[in-house]
Amino acid sequence: PGSERISAAEELTRVLPILQKLQQQFPEIILSIDTYHSEVAQQAIHAGAHIVNDISAGTMDGNMIPAVASFGNVPYVCMHMKGTPETMQQLAKYDDVLKEVLDFFILKTAECRQAGIKDVIIDPGFGFAKTIAHNFSILKNLAVFNMLERPILAGISRKATIYKTLGVTAAEALNGTTVLNTLALANGAHILRVHDVKEAKEAIRLMQEYHNA
């Protein structure tokens, strides 16, 4: 929250060299480019990125959805946010947060489908234009997004919802992160965005054993 926007040109100077080196050193890994600039998304894909992650779901660059669609088989992570990173926390007001986010995705998934994007991943945007109460409400009711018949991504790792609720720092939020990641998995998440891979893998493994029992 509150981060300032940078230009596509500046973003490209920052990410392209890193993408190219990662592609050279670890050709087997799947790389995701986090950007709301269509130009960055296109050049990053040409440089080796496999997935586009857009926090604005195309609202900050009208060319983004057509640009992703033009590649045919590039997955698109479509996230819910109101406003921009600079303004979003002033816009965290909803009559019914769950209904508004769901309605947003009904429209966005239709737009992506009509544009030709075959693989859309839904990210409800924990912490983006949402209060702590909003985040817990979405987490508790995450399964409702299954009606969209798209993979659900949960990005809760070390966010303010955890450390402010517990009265700790982000650095101390690993245990809380694991708890909420586990709840997300239990409530329908298919993908976790994490900082702590080992702990997340352990949570996933235990959930798999639980469901298979």
* 3-state SS class at 50: coil
Report the interhelical angle of 132-140 vs 174-186 (nearest 10°): 40
Sole residue written with tokens 């959805």: 65
Predicted TM-score (pTM) of the model is 0.94
Least confident of 2-11, 147-156, 159-168: 2-11
Catalytic (active-site) positions: 159, 193
CA dihedral over 111, 117, 120, 126, signed as positive or negative: negative
Query: Domains, the chain, ranges and CATH?
Result: 8-154 (3.20.20.20), 157-213 (no CATH)
Segment 99-116 mean pLDDT: 98
pLDDT at 87: 82
Q: What are phi and psi of 78, to 5 degrees?
A: -105, 110
Encode pLDDT of 11-27 as tens digits: 999 999 999 999 999 99
**Which residues have CB under 8 Å from 84's CB, separation 6+?**
5, 56, 60
Is the distance from CB of 72 to CB of 42 less than 8 angstroms?
A: no
The proportion of the chain whose per-residue pLDDT surpasses 90, expressed as a percent, equals 93
